[in-house]
Amino acid sequence: MDLGNNKLILSSGSPRRQNLLKEAQIDFELRVIETDESFPDALAIDQVAGYIAQKKAEAHQEIIQPHEIVLTADTVVCKENIIYGKPKSKEEALEMLLAFSNDTHEVYTGVCLFSKEKMMTKSFLSEVTFAPISKDEVLYYIELDNPMDKAGAYGIQDWIGMCKVKSINGSYTNIMGLPVPQVVEMLESFMQA
């Protein structure tokens, strides 16, 4: 993607987001600023990811340079108005994945583009339906792929995604943490505005 005289700054420690941009042939520099990811309790679930992505972008306010576009993202997995973040233990990962078994849940990724002049924030939804998953299969997956750094305790690109996801409605890369086709559209629109 031609960014003209702009420089894209990815502010994400996620190796999946970094790899997705590399695979899409989008040049970027990495600049991660640790940010408080809390959000107001009254915030609607479909707005949480965008809110956090925007907070991550605003952390660059004092250091952003002309012609830089900061890209931030946050992914939230939820089911029945409960947010499933990154598991704090293998036991919590087990509980999360068993809750998704033979059911559908939502994955929201909020994306924010930020420059000295403007900001654009959007959220994207994908729905994921799992086939039935046994406790033994979940324990196998946790040992195999160690999903402790992933919202909802799984990676769609991992064994569990390949073998136990029955259907997806929405962007596959959104579930990985960055809806690449939508990010490209956002960048094109952002640079033209």
Residue 193 pLDDT: 77
Residue 2 lies in a domain: no
Residue 186 pLDDT: 98
Residue 20 lies in a domain: yes
**Structural domain span for residue 156:** 7-192
| pLDDT tens by residue, 132-170 | 999 999 999 999 998 999 999 999 999 999 999 999 999
104, β-bridge pairs: 129
Alpha carbon 129 to its chain centroid, in Å, reads 18
135 token code pair: 């406790």
Query: Where residue 4 falls among pLDDT bands split at 50, 70, 90?
Result: confident
Global confidence as pTM: 0.94
Residue 173 pLDDT: 97
Residue 137 lies in a domain: yes
As a dihedral over the C-alpha atoms of residue 156, residue 157, residue 158, residue 164, rounded to 10 degrees, the angle is 50
Task: Please tell me which residue in 27, 74, 103, 158 is annotated as part of the active site.
Answer: 74
Number of domains the chain is built from: 1
| pLDDT tens by residue, 91-132 | 999 999 999 999 999 999 999 999 999 999 999 999 999 999
Query: β-strand 165-169 against 119-130: which pairing, if any?
Result: antiparallel
42 contact partners, CB below 8 Å, separation of at least 6: none
Q: What is the CATH number of the domain that holds 30?
A: 3.90.950.10
46 is annotated as an active-site residue: no
What is the rounded CA–CA span in Å between residue 187 and residue 67?
13
| Among 84, 83, 173, CA closest to 124 | 173
Residue 176 lies in a domain: yes
Residue 51 pLDDT: 98
Residue 112 lies in a domain: yes
> What is the chain's mean pLDDT, rounded?
96
**H or E element that contains 19:** helix 15-23
Residue 1 pLDDT: 82
Residue 1 lies in a domain: no
Residue 34 lies in a domain: yes
**H or E element that contains 106:** strand 104-114
Mean pLDDT value across residues 6-19: 95
Residue 122 lies in a domain: yes
